[in-house]
Amino acid sequence: MALIPVILFIFGAVIGSFLNVVIYRIPRGDDWRSQLRSLAWPGSHCTGCEQPLKWYDNIPLASYALLRGRCRNCGERIPVRYPLVEFGNAALYALAGWYFGPEPLLLPALLFISLLIAVFFIDLEHYIIPNVIVLPAAVIGLAATIAIEPSRWLEILVAGGASAAFFFLIAFIKPGGMGMGDVKLAGMMGFYLGKAVLVALFLGFLLGAIVGVGLMVAGRKGRKSRVPFGPFLAVGGLIALFVGENLLDLYLGIFDQGM
């Protein structure tokens, strides 16, 4: 049991290395076919000098440290995002292994973690949430969660459908305030989290408001400036994955006592 988080940390770092490819290449494809093809070809290479990377320069976390964050061939600086994604995915995989243990729910939880990390960085940089990521993820999440916990089928369907509908309503009332990518992401999160998606959405709005106000106070953004909402939803979803149901039960318990 104690080995599970250690094994998952190593596995998570490897998957994190692949996520960096997803984050860099998916937004640069013209359609879903070219996006998927880009993941397989060309092989890993420096984005500066275009030289293919040797296997020993592509070891998660270790290679970045040994190369001191620079390409061996041209010396161009490697974005700090690369080790951040690898470490973040590895750490969250280890946390999931400790939290869920060797249970079937661990598998969709790991997929959910990696999906949200990819969405976080893609939307942060490109202001898009690719369909090629979120739509298959929604189908897999719905099927896997219902297969593992069939008694929750109604909760899961309602959570995903209501979350997407709520965000669609916001997008309809205030065009430009919420993108269709956010609508699909909210629905996908509901299929994985069930009722805990309420916590994820609340935290997403809360974090978005705090950061938005902070950016305006600092003069970095204006009231009409565009700020991607996907990263805030992703953070809310990751928190809700581990403590969402506990926070929701705590709130409902306090509410019941007040009544």
Taking only the tens place, the pLDDT of each residue in 201-229 is 999 999 999 998 888 887 777 666 778 99
Peptide bond into 42 cis (omega under 30): yes
Report, as an integer, the average pLDDT of 187-194.
97
Structure-block tokens of residue 33 = 């076919």
Is 23 a residue whose pLDDT tops 60? yes
In this prediction, residue 224 carries a pLDDT of 66
> Are 17 and 60 a contacting pair, CB within 8 Å?
yes
Average pLDDT value for the chain:
89
In this prediction, residue 172 carries a pLDDT of 87
Instruction: Count other Cβ atoms within 10 Å, centred on residue 154.
Output: 10
Distance from C-alpha of 42 to C-alpha of 20, rounded to nearest angstrom: 14
Tens of pLDDT, residue by residue over 108-142, are: 999 999 999 999 999 999 999 999 999 999 999 99
Instruction: Count other Cβ atoms within 10 Å, centred on residue 31.
Output: 10
Stated pTM of the model: 0.92
- What secondary structure does DSSP assign to 181-238, as a single string? HHHHHHHHHHHHHGGGHHHHHHHHHHHHHHHHHHHHHTTS--TT----SHHHHHHHHH
